[in-house]
Structure 1
């Protein structure tokens, strides 16, 4: 069984392959030409190349999480040393292995115009996946002295070995969908005719039992059950393999790219085209779906389902010797070995003559940022849609995330991919592009630095093309129009202008819009065209709402008729003013204090009654002192006395908004401060009543 597994990997890597961190680093660049259709078909639109030809490009990858290869002393293999001495195997855990080989054949891309491009591509691919192979079973089959304790329980839902070899002929179309100011959007699609050379799969599900050794240290399965499914078309015998079509199908790739172009003014031209010879974005976002579709294989001679049950051993030992499967090297050998293991392995179904094998569908996304001129950094990743599926008739890529700093120009590019995938883990490498040649590896740096690796890959290719050039838009000479006199420059020639020396409009035959009332507001904007007004009121006079002859802007009581002497408000009755003045003369405070004396209350209550009777009345309280003592203290005292009056009125229910207080200290004396009588008069509280 192990020989069969390793044969699948070795055979497929030697023949051809698929996609897994494919062309690491190089694929992030803007100078990949026609090869861009394999990474995102949208990128052939607005390509840096007018046309481009790929002669041949190749990528090979082998990744696993089971064995780590030590690099030190590896050259001794040439002298016949065993590879086992350089492998550190993981014991007990499931093994996952992926091998691929991908060849871009002769392909051609051409830009039809500034918005549309097309490409014709050829490609040969192969892939092998081994998923969830029980580690203890693999250790036992290898017999590599791994520390396994027998007996060991086996309990596996399903492990799968799958492989596929196929070729593609693709027709791609890319188009600029939108180019609006700094926002640029393009899309692309590739339709592919698929030709399957061969595929095979092996699945073992619901494996439950015990891995053990007998007296002779032979590896055996004891009390073990499970279900086996397998099939092959074109890969039955690796020795007789021929690259001929054993199946066909239709596939597709789809991609979109958004670019943010803050300097779009310098890229766009007068004829609505844009420069194609340079990278114009500050950042771009890419999304692509790869390998939609499947291949239908016909003439499948090996295709069936078996049930494993060691209890059916005719010797009554409930065991199955694993050495039955040591010499299996291809699907034909596997079929014979399964049939020979009857009745412990019983065939329950022969399957049909055909089956469908899914492509390794994946979704990629990336964010590419342009730091300055040719310096970029790319953050991207892939989601392997088929990975984890229990369907054995498919291959899959790996999930990964990758950061790639790079420098690239028209003739040279250097890329440093740093990635992590869910099989081999962390890897870093380098890719270089010079003229038509590119070469690189996504794992060589991490392998050399650490001295060990679980991931081996390389890529290289040869392609050439003609770069875009900055074509200048020719400006056509403009014939001079005959001169027409327009003295006032209003766009109406003098022959038709009734006011040729004054700018006007066509509606009034070249004359200005009239202003009948002469208020500076033309009649089309004047709501009172025959009465002079102001712009604030759309050409009408300032209104006088209460009709008292005082316009609303000067009237402090615009909705109550009044007199000009009282700011447009009604006159306050003389008896009210007199009562207020009398009350003011009867406000008294304790000596040197702002505390009201009780004999002031009667007068203040009269004020309260007047203000409650007429809600329009407002009161201004002014406090004064004589010139005796400190001036600053007198100022504070005058303010406090005015506020004491206000506080009394508030307590009697008068709203604070109707009362204003001011302290004037020694200011505005009404008598001589040098006499006691004069000072008594200057110590006063004045009340002023208004209704506005």
Structure 2
């Protein structure tokens, strides 16, 4: 199975995508929400919000789906493998295996083969981080994180099936056009490419108020991030060519082989430096105004923490670059591949073609996955909301010197109180993969998966999770003010009498 997976990596296209798992975004997400929009850290219910550790991960593809019920069925922890034996003196039980898990192929279902299938995965660990609400108009945050992205695009799964299962032996062709179409589907796209990145990140964020009236609230935020590249790797080829010679009389004697050069590179931990920038704003349409000790320039008096009818957030994240200073590559002496894949005696091992003989290194710069994010949060009533989030990758999809991102659309209804939230995210991404999941937040803990519901079906092609622990320190004055505003009816701010 390992060699099959590595063989897929040789057949990759020149662009790649990755996607962050969907965490929770509510009015109590605190410092975790800075990842989506730095303006979110202001006007929260917290005086301080301390993240201890938060983990999120995602992996998906368009080719294989998982059969969860077969996995559950075989997870017998060896109980079904206990074989009783009897003797004249005692009763023995022999444990033949610790788990009932079989070969991984027993738990996957292949979709329709195509020359355009995609795979991606990522993992993020948000380390010790904190949010500090300085006053009503200013807030700052400090974050630490380790991120890992891996991407593969336009996998030729039709070719993969024919190579590994010799599916062409049972294929019939009624005309020369059918044979030519079959050969065309087996072609390897030039500049096949796959990548993986691992880096550490430290961020400093600030948010401030731009406009604050009885009915309108606008805040801006910015994050500066400093990156340290830990490792990267890639495998690609410009000239892989596959040759299929079909034997009409004896299909099993047809020839299927490929020739070409494979180049791979890697970079280890070193003086790898990068910088990133996030900017964003959040606008709230306030729906309640009540008298308190706060006046604007016109003399109107209103609550500063009134509920909103709707909230709009717009941000651009990950504008920047990441340098790897010591990248080793065999581009000047690529590995030659010349394999007859249909020979009865062939022993194809992709690891034989991944060696790097040169000791020379070079510096390479990669652009961060710049993403535009739009968020709309509608307040149905005091405790029920519906959130819509749209992420769009903003850079070129043809440049291999960029870390890519998958465009994603999410709708998530939620129930929200101070100490508890529950939400139901439903999403679809650029590749048409649909997901549905569930998540919860308490004061000190949050967890969930935006794919757990669809993972219970036989059509699940993506799985993700998120879990975290935090220490929230609430602003008691703000909480009291917010609760009081919920208990009053909407009134208009008083008007001052003109003086003559």
TM range (shorter): 0.7 to 0.9
Whether 1:121 aligns to 2:129 is no
Q: Is the 8 A contact 1:219 1:323 kept in 2?
A: no
Aligned match of 2:371 = 362
Alpha-carbon offset, residue 147 of structure 1: 8.1
Whether 1:152 aligns to 2:183 is yes
- Cα separation, 2, equivalents of 1:267 and 1:428: 43
SS in structure 1 at match of 2:327: coil
Q: Is the 8 A contact 2:244 2:254 kept in 1?
A: no
Decide which moves more: 418-427 or 51-60. Answer: 418-427
Q: Is the 8 A contact 2:335 2:353 kept in 1?
A: no
Give the structure with higher Rg (CA): 1
* Structure with the higher fraction of residues in strand conformation: 2
Aligned match of 1:51 = 48
SS in structure 1 at match of 2:321: strand
- Cα separation, 2, equivalents of 1:445 and 1:418: 10
- Cα separation, 1, equivalents of 2:9 and 2:273: 25
Q: 1:359 to 1:467 in 2, by over 3 A?
A: same
Decide which moves more: 90-99 or 47-56. Answer: 90-99
- Cα separation, 2, equivalents of 1:298 and 1:460: 34
Aligned match of 2:128 = 106
Q: Is the 8 A contact 2:20 2:57 kept in 1?
A: no
Whether 1:233 aligns to 2:267 is yes
SS in structure 1 at match of 2:372: strand
Q: 1:186 to 1:446 in 2, by over 3 A?
A: same
Q: Give the paired residue count.
A: 432
- Cα separation, 2, equivalents of 1:213 and 1:138: 17
Whether 1:23 aligns to 2:22 is yes
Please give the TM-score of this superposition, normalised by the length of structure 2. Answer: 0.76
Alpha-carbon offset, residue 298 of structure 1: 1.3
Q: How does 1:421-570 map to 2 (within 5 A)?
A: 421-423=429-431, 425-448=433-456, 450-470=457-477
Q: How does 1:348-427 map to 2 (within 5 A)?
A: 353-386=362-395, 389-423=397-431, 425-427=433-435
SS in structure 2 at match of 1:263: coil
Q: 1:202 to 1:282 in 2, by over 3 A?
A: same
Q: 1:7 to 1:207 in 2, by over 3 A?
A: closer
1:76-119, Cα deviation, whole Å (9 max, x unpaired): 26413112122222323322111111111000110111111111
Decide which moves more: 363-372 or 204-213. Answer: 204-213
Q: Which runs of 5+ in 1 are unaligned?
A: 9-17, 235-243, 340-348, 474-490, 492-504, 506-692
Alpha-carbon offset, residue 268 of structure 1: 7.4
Q: 1:161 to 1:356 in 2, by over 3 A?
A: same
1:520-541, Cα deviation, whole Å (9 max, x unpaired): xxxxxxxxxxxxxxxxxxxxxx
- Cα separation, 2, equivalents of 1:319 and 1:354: 40
SS in structure 1 at match of 2:362: coil
SS in structure 2 at match of 1:152: helix
Alpha-carbon offset, residue 464 of structure 1: 1.6
Alpha-carbon offset, residue 73 of structure 1: 1.6
Aligned match of 2:82 = none
1:361-409, Cα deviation, whole Å (9 max, x unpaired): 21111111001001100111111235x6222233322111111000111
Greater relative contact order structure (CA < 8 Å, 6+ sep): 2
- Cα separation, 1, equivalents of 2:27 and 2:381: 15
Q: 1:200 to 1:394 in 2, by over 3 A?
A: farther
- Cα separation, 1, equivalents of 2:278 and 2:345: 43
Q: CA RMSD in A?
A: 3.7
Q: 1:438 to 1:88 in 2, by over 3 A?
A: same
Decide which moves more: 137-146 or 193-202. Answer: 137-146
Whether 1:253 aligns to 2:255 is no
SS in structure 1 at match of 2:453: helix
Of residues 196, 204, 229, the one that matches 2:237 is 204
- Cα separation, 2, equivalents of 1:203 and 1:308: 11
Q: Which runs of 5+ in 2 are unaligned?
A: 11-16, 76-98, 172-178, 482-498
Alpha-carbon offset, residue 470 of structure 1: 2.9
Aligned match of 2:38 = 41
- Cα separation, 1, equivalents of 2:464 and 2:450: 6
Q: 1:138 to 1:395 in 2, by over 3 A?
A: farther
Decide which moves more: 368-377 or 301-310. Answer: 301-310
* Structure with the higher fraction of residues in helix conformation: 1
SS in structure 1 at match of 2:402: coil
Aligned match of 2:100 = 79
Aligned match of 1:61 = 58
